[in-house]
Amino acid sequence: MRPPATPSSRDSSAASAADAEGAERGWVERAAAGDRGAFQRLYARYHSSVRAVALANAGWPSADDIAQDVFLRAWERLPQLRDPGRFGPWLLQIARNRCVDHHRRPRVVDAPIERGAEAPPVAEAMEVLRAIQALAPAYRETLAMRLVEGMSGPEIAARTGLTPRSVRVNLHRGMKKLRALLGEETP
């Protein structure tokens, strides 16, 4: 069990979160002005979040391509972002929209996997991913960020714009529904 937070530890956590938000806002503003280095920092910070949204909404084979496309679109449209403090939620909405576009396009058969390439995921992982994709969007995205990308609740909240409480609720309810879909417990 975790000891209760003292007022000073809460204050320092809030101060460090504010510092991180200020740094991110600066990266967004510099990237909007054309600074590629600043955009690379944003890419490094948000790639796993965008990939998790793509996994949750479009599936394994297309996730990496969609993530790349999302960042390309974000780079092109960054000057149109009105509030640099909302970069994360804005970017994830681009990812969601791109996933919708992906489902509208005709299917193309993937090329066979080359020798020496990474093996496809095991059957259990694909079963879990299909079960995650069957959940409501709020649950599937937070679960993919947590289970696939290994993000903590506060990281998910910071990147999605949700409150930490909403993330906890989505993770709890989503895990319960996921277990029920996988036959691990009754609903």
Q: How many CA within 13 A on the CB side of residue 117?
A: 7
CB 42 within 8 A of CB 87: yes
Q: Which residue is associated with the tokens 């390439």?
A: 117
Which DSSP category does 4 fall into? P
Banded model confidence at residue 45, pLDDT cuts 50, 70, 90: very high
Instruction: Kindly state the percentage of the chain with pLDDT values over 70.
Output: 78
Each residue's pLDDT tens digit, 106-147: 654 444 445 444 555 567 777 888 888 899 988 988 998 998
Cα–Cα dist 160/114, whole Å: 36
Per the model's pLDDT, the better-predicted residue between 39 and 124 turns out to be 39
Q: Residue 187 above 50 pLDDT?
A: no
Taking residues 22-34, report their average pLDDT.
92
Q: Which domains does the chain have, with CATH numbers?
A: 27-105+122-181 (1.10.1740.10)
Output the CA torsion sign for 53, 153, 174, 163.
negative
Banded model confidence at residue 60, pLDDT cuts 50, 70, 90: confident
Closest CA to 28 of 39, 17, 40: 39
Q: How many CA within 13 A on the CB side of residue 75?
A: 16
The model's pTM is: 0.67
Q: Which residue is associated with the tokens 């949204």?
A: 53
Q: Find the range with the poorest average confidence among 73-77, 83-87, 104-108.
A: 104-108
Cα diameter, the chain: 57
Residue 22 corresponds to which amino acid? G
- What separation in angstroms does the CA of 48 have from each of 45, 54, 106, 146? 8, 10, 26, 10
Check residue 117 and give its pLDDT: 47
